[in-house]
Amino acid sequence: MSLESPRVPSTELQLTDLPVDKTSLGNAVMVGLKEIWAHKFRSALTMLGIVLGVSSLVAMSAMVQGMENGQREAMLAIGGLEKVRMEAQRVPVEQRHLRDMARGMTLADVEALKAGVPDIEVIAPEMRLELDPTLQANGKYHRTFMTGGILPEKVRIMEHEVEHGRMFNDIDASEARPVCIIGTGIRDELFGRPEDTGAEVVPVGKTMTINGQPFTIIGMFKRYEGEQERKQRLESEAERQRLKSEGKAPPKGPARGQGRSGSFAFWIKNNTVYMPLNTMWHRFQAGLSNAPPEPRLSNIELKVRDFSKIEQTLAKIRNIMMVNHRGIEDFAFRTFEDWSADIDRFVKNARMSGGLIAGISLFVGGIGIMNIMLASISERIREIGIRKAVGAGGLDIFVQILVESTVIAVVGGLLGLAFSRLVVMGIAWVAPTGNNPVITGGAMALAFGFAVVVGLLAGIFPAVKAARMDVIQSLRYD
């Protein structure tokens, strides 16, 4: 044999002179990846928990984000945070003995507030029909719920836009003329949808009965819809145009994702029927046997000028109302701050419950990883013994096992992120809503971070166990 070996250094050896070990992390990652690849099926099963945990966390957060966006969009659509609503309510129990003195909310309240609170930008009273009225026109019936007698300010406060015809004027009001202005939802029900007829339908000038009383439709509002709804509608319209230009018959019937699937707030807004307050009073309330001496309002909506001072303004409004009502609380406040808080609470709850589910998945995934790492080290006792015999320290073995478990989690986490897109698309396809799910980078980073932490934590116990194994015993093991 021809031997050419390195020369042995002749200097005296000192333990303390030895250079410090450097564990090559890149090398450990490679070993980890190889280990995963060597046990593909087992690794895939192990990763499943992490994949599900990460994807459910991301998908859940995307759905909640979508809903939140939709809610905020809807809130802005009906006037935003600056809006305050006062609703007539029954006299509270402790004031029952004063019931006969309660006269409800009246136009006198509106005048008093206008005069007494300069911070009110606009104030709009409404008188509703007590029971949902039946509308009839064009041979069709429709039961609706948003039929109100109003002053023109209501249009401003609700951010309505008259697109066809006109709004009623002072003469309509003072003469209590039977005129009304409707939303496109009412039009859709009674006169047909433009999607079906292929052209805009404008029933201005047509007659419609409200609980049997004939009214003339003098105007129609614009169509209100969410961002998502509009996109879908425009897409299907373009599709229809394309089919038309190709000479094919456009498909009848509602396209997917249309109709009532949109945000509730927009749907309500589109189903409005307004008439002058005075018309409502004279035609539906004044003639009744138990009619009050003056118009009784169902609600008063107002918008404050300065949102930052809403507390003071509300206190002032409350004072004036209490004086006017002689201390009887036959009205209640509802601010959109409440709604906003509701949204926050809903988002928080949804996140918590979704987070809990995802957390359980990740926890189970972590247990799976720990289990597989324990199985892996007991399969590799001899390997660990050999590595130690040739100079691996406990720390080297610890890092190797930890890296392997983390690599499983990282790969599982990446798969989970990819999978979450599919989950979101799947949910949106199965149950389309007006609220497009929004996958945020933050949610992805958070879910991935959790997965990595789970991998690290799951690896610690097996890693410590492996690092502490006795060299001789490990070498003897078969």
Partner 1 sequence: MALLELRNVSKIYHLGGEEIRALDDVSLDLEQGEFVSIIGPSGSGKSTLMHILGCLDSPTRGNVVLAGTEIARASARELARVRNRTIGFVFQFFNLLPKLNVLQNVELPMIYAGIGGKERRERAEKALEMVELGHRLKNRPNQLSGGQQQRVAIARALVNNPKIILADEPTGNLDTHTGELILALFRRLASEGRTVILVTHNPEIAAVTPRRIEIRNGKIAHQVDAKLAGLDRLPGAAHGGRNP
- Between 199 and 390, CB nearer to partner 1: 390
From first CA to last CA, the distance across the chain in angstroms is 34
- Between 123 and 377, CB nearer to partner 1: 377
Per CB under 8 A, 395 contacts partner 1: yes
- Between 247 and 391, CB nearer to partner 1: 391
Interface residue with partner 1 among 115, 199, 390, 431 (CB under 8 A) is 390
Per CB under 8 A, 290 contacts partner 1: no
Interface residue with partner 1 among 69, 222, 383, 465 (CB under 8 A) is 383
Given the DSSP bridges, would you call strands 272-276 and 146-150 parallel, antiparallel or unpaired?
Answer: parallel
- Between 6 and 253, CB nearer to partner 1: 6
Per CB under 8 A, 293 contacts partner 1: no
Provide CB contacts within 8 A for 358, sequence distance 6+. 53, 54, 56, 57, 60, 447, 450
Q: How many residues bind partner 1 (CB under 8 A)?
A: 41
Per CB under 8 A, 12 contacts partner 1: yes
- Between 55 and 400, CB nearer to partner 1: 400
Interface residue with partner 1 among 268, 386, 427, 464 (CB under 8 A) is 386
- Between 192 and 394, CB nearer to partner 1: 394
How far is it, in rounded angstroms, from Cα 409 to Cα 474? 28
Q: Minimum distance between the CB of residue 463 and partner 1, rounded to whole angstroms?
A: 15
- Between 25 and 425, CB nearer to partner 1: 25
Per CB under 8 A, 25 contacts partner 1: no
Per CB under 8 A, 42 contacts partner 1: no
Select from 241-249, 272-280, 379-387, 435-443 the region that touches partner 1 (CB under 8 A).
Answer: 379-387
Per CB under 8 A, 378 contacts partner 1: no
Binding site for partner 1 (CB under 8 A): 1-10, 12-15, 18-24, 27, 34, 38, 382-383, 385-396, 471-472, 475
